Structure 1
Amino acid sequence: MHAILEILRQTEAAKVMAAAIDYAEYVALDLAVTNTDLAAQSLATAQDYEHYIQQHLDQHQAKIAFGGYNETRNLYQRSTVFKNENADERNIHIGLDLWMNEAAPIYAALDGTIHSFQNNAALGDYGPTIILQHEIEGHLFHTLYGHLSLDSLKDKKTGQAVAKGERIATLGLPPINGDYAPHLHFQIIIDMENKQGDYPGVCSSKTLAHYLRNCPDPNLLLKIKS
């Protein structure tokens, strides 16, 4: 684990969405339960969040909003994927989100191969998802790209080689993307735990320690400066 963290820290910064947009045009976005401004809004639909995020982008003269790693959120409560009577509520986000209200191109963070892909079509889930496998200095790990367009899954094959910076997908729009405001969920996963085409991107407080170990901060790789 420690070795992989050092590898990620030392790796050259990766752009995974809209590569032509400089990090200087990114702005941090807080969707946590502790954000009193967010709590004061009436946000029930994907369109409500699109409007809220666009206002945030315009206010800061930015093009992409980012954030959300290890952030406790209320926005998943509408979905039984995350809140139901048979399991602990999952509301802590363990990926990093990049929000942009258009169908932006998505790129591979590193050289690798396609591990798996599928459409996780339940309300509030990832929608179309691609997972890549990477090996650096003998260490295996994965990157997950969620909330993509359906076309992103066409002509994909397990084991297919991809190069860092290669366009692998397009950002999805609601409702195909799980019915969210358009954004990329980007996540680093060390052990896929035998899962294919899917891996939890939101966890409960009881499982948080495990997922923080298995899913280190994606900004170690992206290196976005807030």
Structure 2
Amino acid sequence: MKPPMTGVAAVRAWLESDEFIAEPIVAVDGKQAPLVFDLGEGSLDLGEPLDGLDTARFSQLVERSMQQHKVRIAYGRWGERRALYKSEHFTAGNEARTVHLGIDVFCAPRTQLAAPLDGIVDIVANNARELDYGPMAILKHTTPGGQTFWTLYGHLGEECLSSLRSGMPIGAGERLGTVGAPPTNGNWPPHLHFQVILDLLDLGREFPGVAAASEQDRWLSLSPNPACFFPQVNAELLDGRSRFGKPG
């Protein structure tokens, strides 16, 4: 695996600056207070332990909580250590991967998604393994200073596999696709996994959305908190590291 590229600090600084403006990925109702789930290890936020839940029950708990709070959109935290990842896709190797590298946007299947920034479709693929991304896309962007970075969209509807193609330009606010549904979305509750990537490391469609805890500092630096794309939510609420200690 090649080392991270230079210039990632400049991309991160731009994302955190007042100059950064993004179009909404999902249309939101500004009158609703944002609902942010705690899906971390040991959490009972959805009413029962999450460890070992099958997709059907997990989906039921998510839907029930959203109905109770009278919201149509809920969020899952970046940097959160979770016990949800039990398939071989996450447990192969010496250490299971548990640290979430993106933000989840839970909403109804077929919810319309838009590109937040001007870019180019770099990758569109179907990672069809159990609990993988399912249909996914990666967009390539360029900052005003000329630095390159990417945004990843996982668990999409299957129509993106025909509507998007590598090299296709896409404008901010243009239709990207829809939220998928199980089992074709990787067999997860309906949601978008959104992730910023400062360097793809030549990993392409296999860039991880979850990292091992022993390597979290490196991976969270390559995929920083994308809260700036969701200004309607307090950034601190979307930072799941607080329960387990923030990396230095």
Answer yes or no: same fold by TM over 0.5: yes
Aligned to 1:15: 24
Aligned to 1:195: 203
Aligned equivalents of 2:62 and 2:84: distance in 1? 14
User: CA contact under 8 A between 1:101 and 1:181: conserved in structure 2?
Assistant: no
1:115-172 CA-partner distances (Å, limit 9, x unpaired): 1111000001000010000001211100000001111110422111000111111111
Is 1:134 the equivalent of 2:141?
yes
Aligned equivalents of 2:73 and 2:149: distance in 1? 26
Residues 9-158 of structure 1 aligned to structure 2 (within 5 Å):
9=16, 10=18, 11-17=20-26, 19=27, 21-22=29-30, 24=32, 26-38=34-46, 40-41=48-49, 44-77=53-86, 79-84=87-92, 86-136=93-143, 137-158=145-166
Scaled by the length of structure 2, the TM-score of the pair is 0.84
Count residues in correspondence: 223
Consecutive unaligned residues of structure 2, counting only runs of 5 or more, are 1-7, 235-248
User: CA contact under 8 A between 1:113 and 1:162: conserved in structure 2?
Assistant: yes
Q: How big is the shift at 1:5?
A: 2.1
Q: How big is the shift at 1:179?
A: 0.4
Aligned equivalents of 1:23 and 1:81: distance in 2? 39
Q: What code does the residue aligned with 2:55 have? A: A
User: CA contact under 8 A between 1:23 and 1:224: conserved in structure 2?
Assistant: no
Q: Which runs of 4+ in 1 moved over 6 A?
A: none
Aligned equivalents of 2:179 and 2:191: distance in 1? 7
Aligned to 1:214: 222
Q: What code does the residue aligned with 2:44 have? A: T
Tell me the C-alpha RMSD between the 2 structures: 1.8
Aligned to 2:173: 165
User: CA contact under 8 A between 1:54 and 1:101: conserved in structure 2?
Assistant: no
User: CA contact under 8 A between 1:117 and 1:196: conserved in structure 2?
Assistant: no
Aligned equivalents of 1:171 and 1:103: distance in 2? 5
Aligned equivalents of 1:46 and 1:101: distance in 2? 15
Q: How big is the shift at 1:13?
A: 4.0
Aligned equivalents of 1:93 and 1:24: distance in 2? 25
Q: Which moved more, 1:50-59 or 1:157-166?
A: 50-59
Q: What code does the residue aligned with 2:207 have? A: Y
Q: What code does the residue aligned with 1:163 have? A: G
Aligned equivalents of 1:51 and 1:93: distance in 2? 21
User: CA contact under 8 A between 2:97 and 2:210: conserved in structure 1?
Assistant: yes
Q: How big is the shift at 1:37?
A: 4.2
Q: SS at the partner of 2:35?
A: strand
Identity among equivalent pairs (%): 31
Q: What code does the residue aligned with 1:130 have? A: A
Consecutive unaligned residues of structure 1, counting only runs of 5 or more, are none
Aligned equivalents of 1:98 and 1:37: distance in 2? 16
Aligned to 1:6: 13
Could you say if the C-alpha distance between residues 24 and 7 of structure 1 is closer, same or farther in structure 2, counting changes exceeding 3 Å? farther
Could you say if the C-alpha distance between residues 25 and 13 of structure 1 is closer, same or farther in structure 2, counting changes exceeding 3 Å? farther
Q: How big is the shift at 1:39?
A: 7.5
User: CA contact under 8 A between 2:47 and 2:61: conserved in structure 1?
Assistant: no
User: CA contact under 8 A between 2:112 and 2:179: conserved in structure 1?
Assistant: yes
Q: SS at the partner of 2:214?
A: coil
Q: How big is the shift at 1:41?
A: 4.0
Aligned equivalents of 1:23 and 1:91: distance in 2? 34
Q: Which moved more, 1:52-61 or 1:116-125?
A: 52-61
User: CA contact under 8 A between 1:118 and 1:198: conserved in structure 2?
Assistant: no
